[in-house]
Structure 1
Amino acid sequence: MTTVQEKDTTGIETAEATTDADSTATPAETPMIQARNLTKRYGDLTAVDGVDITVERGSIHGFVGPNGAGKSTTMQMLTGLVSPTAGEVRIGGDPAGSYAATAKIGYAPQEPAFYESMTGRNYLVYMGRVAGMGRNEASERADELLEWLDLADAADQTIGGYSGGMARKLGLAQAMIHDPELLILDEPTATLDPEGRASIIDSLQDLTEEGMTVFVSSHVLAELERFVDTVTILAEGQVARSGPLEAIRSAVSTETYVVDTTDNDRLATLLADHPTVERVERRDGGRVAAVPAEPEDFTIELQGMIGDAELGLRSMEREDGLEEAVLHLIEETQNGTAAGGVTGEATRTAAEGGADAPEAAPASDDPGREGGD
C-alpha cells in the first residue's frame, strides 16, 4: 500500500489517502525518499513528531527550519544512522539502514570529521575504498571531484591546513565519491563566508541533470530558494508546510514595504493606526516595514500619507516577504494554530554523505544534539 498526498488548489500537500499501487510500482516510479509517521523520542522529549516526507527521484528538495526544529535528527533517521521510535523510512523502496538503502546514499553531516593528517586526495581514495570501489576507480573519481569542486590545487595538501570552505567542499566530495543516487546534505553552507556559500550552492545546481536526487537542509530559506523546487518546513519536530516552493510562496508570503523617511518614528505611528496595514515593524537603520492588507493600492496611499505628514521620503523598497512569512508560519505551528495543521510530503531533493564512512560519524542520540539543527 502506498500513501498519496491530496492537494489543495495551491498544490500544497494537506491530507493523506491510500492506494494499493505499491505492488505495481517500478523502481523508476518508486520515490527516492518515503518517510511515514517518522518519530524520535529521547525519554520525555519528542525531537521529531509524526513527520511524512516524499522526495521524487532526480529532484532537489529543501528542508527548512530553525535551530532545534529536528532537522538533523530527521536526516540521521533517513540515512539509517539513528533508529526511529516510530514510523518508517524507505530509500528507493528499501528500508533505511539496510545495505541496499545505505549503498544508495551519500551523506555529508553538519559537522564533518576528517583524518587531518591525510591529504585531500588520499582521504577521498580511502573513502572510495571503504565504499567498495577499486583503487583505480576511487583514484579517478577522487581526481574528478577535486577538479569539479575547485580543490585540485589543494589535493596534495593535508586536510588540517584546509580552510572552512575547503573542508566543506571535501565533505561534499566524500559524500559523492561512490556516485550515490541520493545526496543528503545537512547545513552544507553553515559557518561559511558569502563566497564559500555561493561556491557550494553553485556546485549543487548541476547535480540533478546527472540524475542525482538531492536533499539539503538549511535554516535560511532565502539561500535554498535560489535552487530548490520543493521544500518542507519543520517546526518543533513537525511539518508546518510542504510542497512546491512557488505554491508555498503564493500561500504564505506577503508583500512588505520597507520605508525610510525624515521621521521614521512618526511614520511608524501613522502606519500602526492605518486601517489597511496589518503589521508594522522596525528594520536596521530605523527604517519602517509595513505589511498592507491590500498591496495594490498601498503605494499610492503611503505616498499620500507621507505627503500629508510633511515627511521627506528617502527610500522605499518592496519585498516578497517570504522569509518573514515562513517565520510567521513556524510561530503559528509552535502555537498550534497553523492553517492546514501539520502536513508533510516533501518532493524534491538531493544530498549526500558516505553513510559507509567512519568520517561521516553520526551525531549523538543525546537530544542536546538538536541544538545544532
Structure 2
Amino acid sequence: MTMIEANNLTKHYGDIKAVQGIDLTIDAGSIHGFVGPNGAGKSTTMGMLVGVVTPTVGEATIGGDPAGSHAALEKIGYAPQDPVFYNSMTARSYLRHMGKMSGLDGNLSERVDELLEWLNLADAADQAISGYSGGMERRLALAQAMVHDPELLILDEPTAELDPRGRASIIDTLQNLTDQGKTVFVSSHVLSELEQFIEEVTVINDGKVITSGSLAEVSAGLVETYVVESTDDATLQNLLMECPFVERVELHEDSGVTVWIDDEDAFSTTLPTVLSDAEIGLQSMHRESGLEEAFLEMIESNEGV
C-alpha cells in the first residue's frame, strides 16, 4: 500500500521557486528520510502534504485521500520544525487538549500517560511547558503528533538544535515506530543521524529531487574516505593500490594515507590481512567522509542544474 503519493508537487512564492515538480511514492510501514540543506524545500513540501500549504501546481494523496482533506488529516500526525505550545499548560493538560482537538472522545488519560511514559516525560508531566528544555519540547511535539494514534507521522527536523543525548532519545523513539506499523516521513539536513534508522531516502536541493530510493540503492557507488596511519605508510599505499575496491590512495607528508574506496565491507575485511601479510602495524584508522559528505557532493554537483 502507498501511504504518500505526490505528483509534480510545486510551490512558487512570486518569483521564488520553493518547490519544483516533486514526485514521491512512500510505502506504508516504511521510514523514509527527506534530506537536503536548509532552504532546500523540505518544510514547504511537508506543508503541502499536511495541507497547510496550497500547491501552485501538482497534487498529493495520503493513503489514497487528497492531501489536506479531512480523511487525509485523520491519518497524519505532524510535528513541525518549530513547534509552538501553550507554555502555561502542563504536558499532560496540553496533550489532553490536543487529543480533544483531534476529535478524540472519552477519557484520554490512558493514552496521554502512555505517551508521556514512552517519551520519558512522565516525571515532568505536571510541570509547565515553559520550563521544558529543547529536548523535552521535541519529545512533547512528537507525543502531540502521536496522540490520536495516526498511521503516518510527518516530522520536520525532529532533532534540530538538540544536544547528542536529546538526539539519541528521539532517534531511539523513531526506531520503534515501524514495529507498530507506522509510516514515518522524517526530514533532516543531517544525514549521519537519519542513516542510523531510515530505510529509504529522498535527496532534495533547490526545490528539486536529486535522487530517491532505498538507502543502499542511493548510496551505491558513492566513494567513502578513510585515513589510515601505520608503521610503514609508503608500503601500505602500494599494497592498497592493488586492491580492486580502492579508487585512490594518497600518502601524507607527515603521517598516514588517505584511501578512497567504493566497497566499505571489502575494505574492512581486507585491510587486516594486508597489514598482517606485510607485517605492518596499524596505529590508527578513522572514516573521514561517509554518506554525509558524499550526499553533500551530490547536492553541490547538482546546483544550478
TM-score, length of structure 1 as denominator length: 0.70
The residue number in structure 2 matching 1:240 is 210
Q: Show structure 1 runs of 5+ residues with no match.
A: 1-28, 304-311, 337-373
> Are 2:5 and 1:34 aligned?
yes
Q: In structure 2, what is the Cα distance between the partners aligned to 1:51 and 1:81?
A: 17
Q: In structure 1, what is the Cα distance between the partners aligned to 2:251 and 2:63?
A: 46
| AA aligned opposite 1:323 | E
- The runs of at least 4 aligned residues of structure 1 exceeding 6 Å deviation read 279-282, 293-300
**2:131 counterpart (153, 157, 161):** 161
Q: In structure 2, what is the Cα distance between the partners aligned to 1:188 and 1:287?
A: 38
1:70-89 matches, within 5 Å, as 70-89=41-60
| AA aligned opposite 1:236 | D
> Are 2:120 and 1:150 aligned?
yes
Q: Secondary structure at the match of 1:316?
A: strand
Q: In structure 1, what is the Cα distance between the partners aligned to 2:88 and 2:256?
A: 50
Query: How many pairs were matched up?
Result: 291
Summarize deviations over 1:187-222 as a string: whole Å, max 9, x none: 001111111111111111111121111111111111
Contact 1:38 1:88 in 2 (8 A): yes
1:247-258 matches, within 5 Å, as 247-249=217-219, 251-258=220-227
**2:18 counterpart (30, 41, 47):** 47
The residue number in structure 2 matching 1:225 is 195
The residue number in structure 2 matching 1:203 is 173
Q: In structure 1, what is the Cα distance between the partners aligned to 2:161 and 2:289?
A: 26
Q: In structure 2, what is the Cα distance between the partners aligned to 1:281 and 1:182?
A: 50
**1:324 counterpart (288, 293, 297):** 293
Q: In structure 1, what is the Cα distance between the partners aligned to 2:262 and 2:30?
A: 35
Q: In structure 1, what is the Cα distance between the partners aligned to 2:258 and 2:204?
A: 26
Q: Show structure 2 runs of 5+ residues with no match.
A: 276-280
Q: In structure 2, what is the Cα distance between the partners aligned to 1:238 and 1:80?
A: 20
1:49-198 matches, within 5 Å, as 49-136=20-107, 138-198=108-168
Q: Secondary structure at the match of 1:128?
A: helix
Summarize deviations over 1:292-339 as a string: whole Å, max 9, x none: 589979969x98xxxxxxxx9853335673222111111121143xxx
Q: In structure 2, what is the Cα distance between the partners aligned to 1:90 and 1:279?
A: 48
Contact 2:229 2:283 in 1 (8 A): yes
Q: In structure 2, what is the Cα distance between the partners aligned to 1:334 and 1:228?
A: 25
> Are 2:284 and 1:315 aligned?
yes
Tell me the CA shift for residue 144 of structure 1.
Answer: 0.9
CA gap of 1:292–1:93, structure 2 versus 1, over 3 A, is closer
Q: In structure 2, what is the Cα distance between the partners aligned to 1:186 and 1:114?
A: 16
| AA aligned opposite 2:24 | I
Tell me the CA shift for residue 260 of structure 1.
Answer: 5.0
Tell me the CA shift for residue 135 of structure 1.
Answer: 4.2
Tell me the CA shift for residue 255 of structure 1.
Answer: 2.9
Structure scoring higher RCO (CA < 8 A, sep ≥ 6) equals: 1
Q: In structure 1, what is the Cα distance between the partners aligned to 2:250 and 2:14?
A: 42
Q: In structure 1, what is the Cα distance between the partners aligned to 2:138 and 2:117?
A: 15
Summarize deviations over 1:263-282 as a string: whole Å, max 9, x none: x9x9xxx99xx9x8659799
**2:183 counterpart (213, 218, 221):** 213
CA gap of 1:81–1:143, structure 2 versus 1, over 3 A, is same
Tell me the CA shift for residue 161 of structure 1.
Answer: 0.6
- CA RMSD, Structure 1 to Structure 2 (Å): 3.2
Q: In structure 2, what is the Cα distance between the partners aligned to 1:279 and 1:71?
A: 37
Tell me the CA shift for residue 288 of structure 1.
Answer: 6.5
Q: In structure 1, what is the Cα distance between the partners aligned to 2:145 and 2:197?
A: 20
| AA aligned opposite 1:215 | F
| AA aligned opposite 1:166 | M
Q: In structure 2, what is the Cα distance between the partners aligned to 1:239 and 1:200?
A: 26
CA gap of 1:293–1:180, structure 2 versus 1, over 3 A, is closer
| AA aligned opposite 1:101 | A
- Greater alpha carbon shift after TM alignment, 312-321 vs 114-123: 312-321
Summarize deviations over 1:212-248 as a string: whole Å, max 9, x none: 1111111111111111111111111111111011112
CA gap of 1:328–1:128, structure 2 versus 1, over 3 A, is same
Q: In structure 1, what is the Cα distance between the partners aligned to 2:61 and 2:208?
A: 19
CA gap of 1:281–1:91, structure 2 versus 1, over 3 A, is farther
Tell me the CA shift for residue 58 of structure 1.
Answer: 1.1
